[in-house]
C-alpha cells in the first residue's frame, strides 16, 4: 500500500511551519501517487461521515455521541499507525514545560525510525545553537537526525530560519521547490555569520555549560528553601524552567516588576532564557530577584494559612 505524507509530532513542542516546505519537495511528492490520493479521498469522506453522524447524535440523541467519537478515534489511530512517514519532535519540549527527552529515548527513536523507514526530524529552533550546552541539543544523544530545523538563536534576535538535512533528504530539495521570506538575504546571512563567530570561539560553549551548572545549583537551593513555591527546576544549559506549585502569573509579574523578564510555559512553568554571553554577576543578580519574590509569596502563603 502506498504511503500518504503524514507526520507524528510530540505535543508540547514549539511547532514551526516546516511541514509545508517539506511537503512541497520532490522527494515527498514521489510518494504522492494516484493510489495514495484515492486513499486520502476515502479518509476525508470517512471523517465527514463520522462528523455528520456525531452531529446528528449530538443534536437529536445526545446520549449516543460517544460511539461516534470512539469511531473517530479508531480511524485517527489507523491513519497514524499505518501511514506515517515522518516523526517530528525535539530533544526538549519548550512550550510543554521545559521537559527534557532522555538521550536513551532519542537513541531508541532513531532505531525505530530506521527500522520503519521513517524520517526523524529533531527541532532545534529553541534548544539549539548553544542554548542547551552543546552546539545542537541532540549531540548529547549521539544520533544523526534526517532533518533539523533551526532558527532564533542562529540570528541572535534577528529573524533567520534554516533547515539542515542529510544528503539523501536534500535530493528532494530541487531548485524552485523551497522558498523563504528571510532565507539567504545578505543582511540575515551577515548576522548569522557574526553570531556563529562568537558561539564557535574557543571556550564559549564550555562557559555556557559552566555558568548553567552554577545557575541550576543556585536555583535548586532556592527550591529547597521554598518547597511550597517551587516544585521542580527543569532544563539543561541556559534553557531553564521553574515549575511552581500554583499558577505562575503573579510570580512572572513580580519578577518583571524587579526588572527580570521571563516567559510562561505549560504546567505552571516559568521559562528563564538568559543570553548565552550572560555574566556570572548577572546570574547572581537574577538569583537574588527570584529569591526575593519567593520570600514575598511565601509570606502570602503563611498569611493565608494563619487566616
Residue-by-residue DSSP string for 108-152? HHHHHHHHHT-EEEEE-TTTTTTTTSSSSGGGGGT---SEEEEEG
* Domain range for 255: 204-306
Cα separation, 267 vs 255, in Å, equals 18
Quick check: 145 and 119 in contact, CB under 8 A? no
111, three cell numbers: 532505531
Per-residue buried b or exposed e for 200-227, using 16+ beta carbons within 10 Å of the residue's own CB: eeeeebeebbebbeebbebbeebbeebe
Cα 26 to chain center, whole Å? 27
**Same-domain check for residues 147 and 219:** no
What pLDDT score was predicted for residue 24? 38
Cα separation, 40 vs 307, in Å, equals 62
182, three cell numbers: 528571510
178 located within any domain: yes
**Same-domain check for residues 177 and 257:** no
What pLDDT score was predicted for residue 302? 56
170 located within any domain: yes
Angle, helices 186-199 vs 204-225, to 10°: value is 70
In terms of C-beta density within 10 A (0-12 exposed, 13-18 middle, 19 or more buried), how is residue 172 classed?
middle
* Last residue of one domain, picked from the residues 199, 232, 251: 199
299, three cell numbers: 509570606
What pLDDT score was predicted for residue 25? 42
What pLDDT score was predicted for residue 12? 54
Report the candidate in 250, 251, 239, 241 with the shortest Cα–Cα distance to residue 289. Answer: 251
**Same-domain check for residues 139 and 118:** yes
* Last residue of one domain, picked from the residues 199, 216, 240: 199
* Last residue of one domain, picked from the residues 199, 232, 259: 199
Please name the residues in contact with 80: beta carbons below 8 A apart, sequence gap of 6 or more.
Answer: 6, 8
Bridge partner residues of 229 (DSSP): none
**Same-domain check for residues 99 and 234:** no
pLDDT per position in the chain (307 positions), as tens?
444 455 555 555 554 444 434 443 444 444 444 444 444 444 555 554 555 445 444 444 444 444 444 444 444 444 444 444 555 556 777 788 888 888 888 888 888 888 888 888 888 888 899 999 999 988 988 999 998 988 889 998 888 888 889 998 888 777 777 666 666 788 889 999 999 999 999 999 999 999 999 999 999 999 999 999 999 999 999 999 999 999 999 999 999 999 999 999 988 999 999 999 999 999 999 999 999 999 999 876 655 444 4
Q: Give the chain's count of helices (H) and strands (E).
A: 10, 11
What pLDDT score was predicted for residue 47? 52
Residue 289 has phi, psi (to 5 degrees) of -65, -45
Beta strands 263-265 and 269-272 are antiparallel
**Same-domain check for residues 182 and 250:** no
Output the CA–CA distances (angstroms, integers) from residue 63 to 46, 60, 145, in the order listed: 22, 9, 47
Q: Is 241 helix (H, G, I), strand (E, B) or coil?
A: strand
| CATH, residue 133 | 3.40.640.10
pTM of the predicted structure, to 2 decimals: 0.70
**Same-domain check for residues 157 and 134:** yes
Report, in this order, helix, strand and coil percent for the chain, each rounded to 5. 50, 15, 35
Q: Is 89 helix (H, G, I), strand (E, B) or coil?
A: strand
Other CB atoms closer than 10 Å to residue 266's CB: what's the count?
Answer: 16
For the chain, what is the domain count? 2
Q: Which letter does DSSP use for residue 25 in this model?
A: S
Cα separation, 146 vs 42, in Å, equals 31
Amino acid at each position: 500500500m502506498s504511503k500518504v505524507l503524514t507526520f507524528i509530532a510530540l505535543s508540547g513542542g514549539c511547532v514551526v511551519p516546516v511541514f509545508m516546505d517539506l511537503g512541497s519537495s520532490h522527494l515527498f511528492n514521489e510518494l504522492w501517487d494516484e493510489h495514495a490520493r484515492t486513499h486520502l479521498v476515502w479518509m476525508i469522506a470517512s471523517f465527514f461521515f463520522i462528523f455528520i453522524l456525531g452531529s446528528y447524535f449530538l443534536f437529536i440523541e445526545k446520549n449516543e455521541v460517544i460511539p461516534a467519537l470512539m469511531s473517530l478515534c479508531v480511524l485517527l489511530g489507523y491513519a497514524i499507525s499505518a501511514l506515517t512517514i515522518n516523526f517530528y519532535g525535539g530533544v526538549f519540549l519548550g512550550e510543554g514545560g521545559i521537559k527534557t527527552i532522555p538521550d536513551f529515548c532519542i537513541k531508541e527513536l532513531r532505531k525505530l525510525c530506521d527500522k520503519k523507514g521513517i524520517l526523524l526530524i529533531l527541532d532545534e529552533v529553541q534548544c539549539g545553537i548553544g542554548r542547551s550546552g552543546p552546539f545542537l541539543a541532540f549531540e548529547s544523544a549521539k544520533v544523526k537526525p534526517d532533518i533539523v530545523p533551526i532558527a532564533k538563536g542562529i540570528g541572535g534576535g534577528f529573524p533567520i530560519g534554516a533547515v539542515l538535512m542529510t544528503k539523501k533528504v536534500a535530493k528532494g530539495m530541487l531548485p524552485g521547490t523551497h522558498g523563504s521570506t528571510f532565507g539567504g538575504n545578505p543582511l540575515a546571512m551577515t548576522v548569522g555569520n557574526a553570531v556563529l563567530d562568537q558561539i564557535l570561539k574557543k571556550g564559549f560553549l564550555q562557559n555556557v555549560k559552566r555558568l548553567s551548572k552554577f545557575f541550576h545549583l543556585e536555583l535548586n537551593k532556592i527550591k529547597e528553601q521554598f518547597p511550597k513555591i517551587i516544585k521542580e527546576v527543569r532544563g539543561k544549559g541556559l534553557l531553564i524552567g521553574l515549575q511552581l506549585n500554583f499558577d505562575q502569573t503573579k510570580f512572572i509579574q513580580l519578577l518583571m516588576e524587579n526588572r527580570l523578564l521571563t516567559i510562561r510555559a505549560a504546567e505552571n512553568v516559568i521559562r528563564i532564557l538568559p543570553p548565552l554571553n550572560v555574566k556570572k554577576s548577572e546570574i547572581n543578580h537574577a538569583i537574588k530577584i527570584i529569591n526575593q519574590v519567593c520570600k514575598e509569596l511565601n509570606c502570602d502563603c503563611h498569611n493565608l494559612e494563619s487566616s
